[in-house]
Structure 1
Amino acid sequence: MLFNKFLTGVLCASLISISVFGQTDEGDLFESAKEFMSYGDFKNAEIYFKKLLEKAPDNPEYNLELGLLYCLASDKKTDAIPYLEKCDQLSKNEDEFPERYYYLGICYQIRGDFDKAINYFTLFKGYTKKNKEGLAMQQEVNRRIESCNHAKIFVPSPINAQIKNAGDQINSPELDYSPVMQPNQSNIYFTSRRQGNYGTASYDDVHQRVLNTEDIYFAPITIKGDSIVYDRAKKVSSKINTTDHDAVIGFSKDNQKLFIYRENDVWYSQIAGRDWGDPKRLNQKFNTKKGQETSLAMSAAQDMIFIVSSKKGGYGGKDIYVSELQDDGSWSPLVNLGPNVNTSYDEESPFLSTDGKTLYFSSMGHSSMGGYDIFQSAYEKGEWQAPKNMGYPLNSSSDDIFYTTNEDGSLGFLSSDREGGIGYMDIYEIHMQGNEIPVTEIRGIVLAGKDLTPVGARITVKNTNNNKVVGYYVSNEDTASSDYGKYLLVLNPGEEYELTIEAEGYTTYNQTIFVPAQFEYHQMYQEIHMGEKESAIYNALFDIDTQYDNAYAYIEKQLAVDEEYADVLKKDNMYSAYINTLIKIDKILSNPDEVINQPNGTSEKKAESKSETGVGVDEFFSPDEILAVMQDSLSNKPIVMPNIEFDYNRATLREDSKLELNKLYTFMKNSANVQVEIIGHTDNNGDEDFNMRLSQKRAEEIKAYLVSKGIQGTRILTMGYGEYKPIAPNTLPDGSDNPKGRKKNNRIEMKFLFGKE
């Protein structure tokens, strides 16, 4: 919208100033500077305008032009303010260079001084023509004033989210945008217009500068708690990137398809071994002949596709449409999501939550704070509801677009040209607090025959409550891929499902599973063994009853003998606390206690509370181990168990590990209301499939040991992630091996689940 040429057409003609140069060299400099501006060569234009200001620092037009340059260079917008203000001060009257008001409004809006921005926008409105272009400009200025008023509401009440620039391993001095994370969280893919792309640079009307063509890049990532370590980004193969524009849109949830934008349409590439296959254009139901299709989102069950199109018949600009998979395998015609979602402005970059209940998208309409903002719409009563602005600091007064998240919604990415970036548009990571989506993700592999080799299979999932098919899944059919035979199911909790597994040459297998109600995102692993006569599923789901309202921390204080005390905790219930493992404490009694305290190390001694109503027994452990475990447990994060180790490529428990597990056994024996999830991880040495099985077997070995000592198997959940969730780099930045990192990644984690006693 920062078009000085456009403003010339909408401002009253008598108000446009024409400079008269006293010196030829000054005139030549000015003409050269303007020519560089017209080509979008801001670097050289800046040099020439600064030379002009050295010659004539009090020339209002030179100050105006340099201010406009910084406004157009999106990474330096607020640098324009002193030059535009000087132009304002030096102008002979308010009617000279009225465009300064518009650009000052933009700069103050971006800087967050919304009242000043509104004032300048209001001043500017008085100088627009009453023709068609002038009325359109007035509408644009009114929208900016409205955006400033929205920002005055959102900025003082920030949401609970952390926004961080992804850094120079990902971002360049140019435009970087449309970030999408692979479903296994191993890589981030994005689009860039940086130097070194395959195509030829050309002038871009939207950004008013010379830009490179779009190419797709990727970078391996390592997630460490609330931080992400990025490897340096690289271009994807020439199968995907061409000399034309190629932009990444997203992945299917099973990681089998990569969606891209090319030639005004949506294309897809199927996984082929460790690379992507040749892209193919989606069929004409999704791509129109005269419209432009720019973005796509697919549901986790792969039964709905949301697509952005500029086709005729919409509400204005680009709208979001949806198509649903029919029972016969065909796709329904595109249906506009309607006025609740679409506006007379552009809507872009849809993204559907894993549970299918929330649609995220960007819009220049609705309650935008400025430019594109990110919104969310809930699916209720058979339709998408009026969207809500996701708030500050997720949104800013600049363009914020291409929002995506991981499966549970806790980690996301967006693109923004907000102030303080590395380039014209940067990629940012988002850490959302308390935003986990309660869905269950089931990763598995289909194995067949006596040798249990991977095989391609079709999996149909039906909800038994309403007899509706909720998804058709296909395990990876590429025999050259390390993912051959693998599949991913994403199911909503609290429902029963019937799975039908079909593989050529083997008996069709049906299995009913129940996904328990839960309050958080959950992942599981299972194997399907297909046989000629019979088939079976291994590691079926356990019934989980997770509760959080009875998890408490407490501070124990020795009380003087022969005195009575009121209840410290005012809820008549069981109280639990972590010390080394977990001890169960009865409701605090008023009778005097006989205390035996052992402050250092684990003690076999116990403290006993006697009263008419019962006996409570406490065990004491080393206080050095209390806080870390208690904090992790209360935040429901997995706890790394450093003293449980396995030999290289083995799943047999070592004797020293059994000693550590005996503490867990004691805790579980005394706490019948608590379940434990045991999670195995490996480094990336060897085959991915082998590592997945190894991590699962290690978790199951621990479970078997606890069961052998008398703990019920239904209280123990096992999960193996293989090499997919490292907490440290497996290699150093120079590419050499990192033994310390591998040791950290070969680990066992535990998560405790609190249920009702």
Structure 2
Amino acid sequence: MKLKTYLLSVLFLCLFTNISFSQKKIKDNYTLQMLKGYMKTKERDYENALTIYQSIYDKYSNDAALNYRIGQLYLNLKSFNNSIEYLNKARKIDPSLEKDIPFLVGQAYHSLGHIDSALTEYEKYKNSISEKEIKDSKINDIIKQCNDAKWYIKNPVNVKITKLGDEVNSKYVDASPSLTADGKTLIFTSRRPENVGGEVNPATGEYKDDIYISYWIDSLKRWSKAIPAQGKLNTAGYDASLSISPDGKYIFVYRNVQGETKSGDIYISRYNPRTEKWGNPKNISKNINSSYFETSASLSSDGKTLYFVSERSGGFGNGDIWVSKKIKSREWSKPTNIGKAINTEEDEIGVFIHPNGKTLFFTSKGHGTIGGYDVFQSTFENGEWSNPVNLGYPINTTKDEIHFVLSTDGKRAYISSKRDEETEGIDIYEIDMSNYSLPNKDNKELTKQPPRFVSDIAILRGLVIDENAGEKIEAEITVYDSSSGEEVEKISSDEFGEYFFTLKNQKTYKVKVSKDGYETIEENVNLTFESDRDFVLVKHFILKKKRKK
């Protein structure tokens, strides 16, 4: 009897121990996965953090903290409807869980364009925090941003926005469009499975960046099927396009290579018209690249000024726009900050200088935005940049608009953003700007900037060729104003014989072409065009060698 009682006691103890161990194991697994998910989130590896949390969700679907963290991740991943669903569930389970839930839900509604719902949530959040927290969180600025957004949405600008077809866009990310000054070449960054190496970023599940090119087909009035840039531009790593130079000779590339770049740096690749391939990108300059991130670049049409974004010290905020001048062929000056009229304590991340050299478009969170990053315009007049103006809705939306470029004639623009909730990736859109005028939200006269963009630029480009050999040659080309006789600009054709000018249109110029050992030629060139759609004149100059005496 005693033995039986002893055996039953041992059996009960073992059973109790196994149950306790099993419960502890389950609880420890929850704790471990929550910790692992937290660490991945801190690393900004949101996709893998979400996967970790989802692995335990079936068992802990009523856990408020788990729902809260998943809602946060969906917000970071810009899956706003999912974010709202999980955050609302978290506060329903435990209303006292986190007081920032209304703020996060407000952000999701704001990004979706549900402004009234966003304002309701933001007001809830504001009423639950202290005066110091109100100041630190900038909630009043965000509420003002929502009220501004309501005005912009109620007063849309006159544009037509069309998503480019599958000649350019894919079901993957297609972003960062850039256009040559003649409007014939479009480059962009894409994350497609056919990219060089075919590697996937484990943190996002997306393919690595490559640079693609599409060409305008005049006869069909559409873009050609985009192809990867040929040559040595794309690699198995990340190759993101920053811009193409106005003359189409150079592509500025963003690279972040361990052991090579200091952080994210600007590289430059040269096009070889003989091989029709792009060269191996080279670090643009030690004066431009720093130990901080350099992320956007745009070259003036004369090739002498580079506008770029850097997070280096000495600025006004996180990312600022800086300017560097070309000293020699491959030498750039130490950059200067473009100034507080443009840069803010927030983030400026995208920059584009129009071929007219005086109109700057850039992306910012620091000026009056509709939501997220918006595109702004500023004009350089009398030695200073004007106060930036928001381009208005629907060019800007409550989501992020990052990259914007405007054609030389001001008729077309290209922008990349995620405008379709059903589309997984970012796409490139064309904007018909023919009837566009700057919005005037505060009913103030726009003294610094004309309400409508009017282009006064024409392009003169072509080749200098040796008459006998047929070879393209380097020569000095000087342009004079025919009326005044004043020199307008002087350049040299490159080693491939190519030259490129942006000049005032509706004028006649005298062009002088000279080279040692050749007869100098002078010709009048008329840049008056019958159609406002024409602004490019291709003119080749044939040089004769001097006769030996």
* TM bucket normalised to smaller: 0.7 to 0.9
For residues 111 and 218 of structure 2, the distance between their equivalents in structure 1, rounded to whole angstroms, comes to 32
Taking structure 1 as reference, are residues 102 and 495 closer, same or farther at Cα in structure 2, changes over 3 Å only? same
For the 8 Å contact 2:149–2:398, the answer to whether it is kept is: yes
Q: 1:164 aligns with which of 140, 162, 165?
A: 162
Instruction: Tell whether 2:536 aligns with 1:505.
Output: no
For the 8 Å contact 2:180–2:247, the answer to whether it is kept is: no
Deviation at 1:138, TM superposition (A): 0.8
For residues 325 and 398 of structure 2, the distance between their equivalents in structure 1, rounded to whole angstroms, comes to 35
Match of 1:289 in 2: 290
Structure 2 residues not aligned, in runs of 5+: 1-21, 256-260, 436-452
Letter matched to residue 209 of structure 2:
E
Match of 1:718 in 2: none
Letter matched to residue 152 of structure 2:
F
Identity of aligned pairs, percent? 28
For residues 22 and 162 of structure 1, the distance between their equivalents in structure 2, rounded to whole angstroms, comes to 61
For residues 27 and 426 of structure 1, the distance between their equivalents in structure 2, rounded to whole angstroms, comes to 43
For residues 488 and 193 of structure 1, the distance between their equivalents in structure 2, rounded to whole angstroms, comes to 32
Letter matched to residue 177 of structure 2:
P
For the 8 Å contact 2:285–2:331, the answer to whether it is kept is: no
Match of 1:145 in 2: 143
Deviation at 1:104, TM superposition (A): 0.7
For the 8 Å contact 1:439–1:493, the answer to whether it is kept is: yes
For the 8 Å contact 1:41–1:210, the answer to whether it is kept is: no
For the 8 Å contact 1:438–1:519, the answer to whether it is kept is: no
Q: 2:465 aligns with which of 439, 442, 447?
A: 447
Match of 2:378 in 1: 377
Of 182-191 and 152-161, more deviation after overlay is shown by: 182-191
Q: 1:217 aligns with which of 187, 191, 212?
A: 212
Taking structure 1 as reference, are residues 137 and 246 closer, same or farther at Cα in structure 2, changes over 3 Å only? farther
For residues 468 and 37 of structure 1, the distance between their equivalents in structure 2, rounded to whole angstroms, comes to 67
Match of 2:10 in 1: none
Larger Rg: 1
Q: Could you list the per-position Cα deviations for residues 666-725 of structure 1 after superposition, in whole angstroms to 9, with x for gaps in the alignment?
A: xxxxxxxxxxxxxxxxxxxxxxxxxxxxxxxxxxxxxxxxxxxxxxxxxxxxxxxxxxxx
Taking structure 1 as reference, are residues 235 and 519 closer, same or farther at Cα in structure 2, changes over 3 Å only? closer
For residues 485 and 322 of structure 2, the distance between their equivalents in structure 1, rounded to whole angstroms, comes to 27
For the 8 Å contact 2:214–2:223, the answer to whether it is kept is: no
Letter matched to residue 146 of structure 1:
K
Match of 2:102 in 1: 101
Q: Counterparts in 2 of 1:312-323, with a 5 A limit?
A: 312-323=313-324
Q: Secondary structure at the residue paired with 2:397?
A: coil
Taking structure 1 as reference, are residues 296 and 329 closer, same or farther at Cα in structure 2, changes over 3 Å only? closer
Match of 1:277 in 2: 279
For residues 404 and 492 of structure 1, the distance between their equivalents in structure 2, rounded to whole angstroms, comes to 20
Considering Cα pairs closer than 8 Å and 6+ residues apart, tell me whether 1 or 2 has the greater RCO.
2
Q: Secondary structure at the residue paired with 1:520?
A: coil
Instruction: Tell whether 2:57 aligns with 1:52.
Output: yes
Q: Counterparts in 2 of 1:721-736, with a 5 A limit?
A: none
Deviation at 1:371, TM superposition (A): 1.8
Match of 1:249 in 2: 242
Q: Could you list the per-position Cα deviations for residues 396-439 of structure 1 after superposition, in whole angstroms to 9, with x for gaps in the alignment?
A: 11110111133222222212234426334332222222366232
For residues 181 and 343 of structure 2, the distance between their equivalents in structure 1, rounded to whole angstroms, comes to 28
Letter matched to residue 302 of structure 2:
A
Q: Secondary structure at the residue paired with 2:366?
A: coil
Match of 2:15 in 1: none
For residues 383 and 49 of structure 2, the distance between their equivalents in structure 1, rounded to whole angstroms, comes to 56
Taking structure 1 as reference, are residues 471 and 399 closer, same or farther at Cα in structure 2, changes over 3 Å only? farther
Taking structure 1 as reference, are residues 178 and 223 closer, same or farther at Cα in structure 2, changes over 3 Å only? farther
Of 511-520 and 411-420, more deviation after overlay is shown by: 511-520
Deviation at 1:392, TM superposition (A): 0.9
TM (normalized to structure 2)?
A: 0.77
Match of 1:410 in 2: 411
Instruction: Tell whether 2:539 aligns with 1:526.
Output: yes
For residues 200 and 294 of structure 1, the distance between their equivalents in structure 2, rounded to whole angstroms, comes to 22
Match of 2:254 in 1: 261
Deviation at 1:109, TM superposition (A): 0.3
Deviation at 1:27, TM superposition (A): 7.2
Of 325-334 and 160-169, more deviation after overlay is shown by: 325-334
Match of 2:390 in 1: 389
Q: Secondary structure at the residue paired with 2:409?
A: coil
For the 8 Å contact 2:80–2:109, the answer to whether it is kept is: no
Deviation at 1:359, TM superposition (A): 0.9
Q: Secondary structure at the residue paired with 2:379?
A: strand
Deviation at 1:315, TM superposition (A): 1.5
For residues 485 and 30 of structure 2, the distance between their equivalents in structure 1, rounded to whole angstroms, comes to 75
Q: Counterparts in 2 of 1:533-612, with a 5 A limit?
A: 533=546
For the 8 Å contact 2:105–2:118, the answer to whether it is kept is: yes
For residues 398 and 475 of structure 2, the distance between their equivalents in structure 1, rounded to whole angstroms, comes to 49
Q: Counterparts in 2 of 1:40-189, with a 5 A limit?
A: 40=45, 42=47, 45=50, 49=54, 52=57, 59-74=63-78, 76-91=79-94, 93=95, 95-125=96-126, 138-139=137-138, 141-167=139-165, 170-171=168-169, 175-183=173-181, 185-189=183-187
Taking structure 1 as reference, are residues 27 and 504 closer, same or farther at Cα in structure 2, changes over 3 Å only? farther
CA RMSD of aligned residues (A): 3.8
Taking structure 1 as reference, are residues 57 and 247 closer, same or farther at Cα in structure 2, changes over 3 Å only? closer
Taking structure 1 as reference, are residues 336 and 518 closer, same or farther at Cα in structure 2, changes over 3 Å only? farther
Of 179-188 and 356-365, more deviation after overlay is shown by: 179-188
Q: Could you list the per-position Cα deviations for residues 18-37 of structure 1 after superposition, in whole angstroms to 9, with x for gaps in the alignment?
A: xxx98965874685477457
For the 8 Å contact 1:128–1:138, the answer to whether it is kept is: no
Deviation at 1:167, TM superposition (A): 4.9
Structure 1 residues not aligned, in runs of 5+: 1-20, 479-484, 535-757
Q: Counterparts in 2 of 1:306-317, with a 5 A limit?
A: 306-317=307-318
For the 8 Å contact 1:36–1:42, the answer to whether it is kept is: no
Q: 1:490 aligns with which of 480, 484, 502?
A: 502
Q: Could you list the per-position Cα deviations for residues 577-627 of structure 1 after superposition, in whole angstroms to 9, with x for gaps in the alignment?
A: xxxxxxxxxxxxxxxxxxxxxxxxxxxxxxxxxxxxxxxxxxxxxxxxxxx
For the 8 Å contact 2:412–2:434, the answer to whether it is kept is: no
Letter matched to residue 266 of structure 2:
V
Deviation at 1:501, TM superposition (A): 1.9
For residues 58 and 152 of structure 1, the distance between their equivalents in structure 2, rounded to whole angstroms, comes to 36
Letter matched to residue 378 of structure 1:
T
Taking structure 1 as reference, are residues 389 and 490 closer, same or farther at Cα in structure 2, changes over 3 Å only? same
Q: 1:456 aligns with which of 460, 469, 474?
A: 474
Taking structure 1 as reference, are residues 59 and 321 closer, same or farther at Cα in structure 2, changes over 3 Å only? closer
Letter matched to residue 316 of structure 1:
G
For residues 48 and 284 of structure 2, the distance between their equivalents in structure 1, rounded to whole angstroms, comes to 40
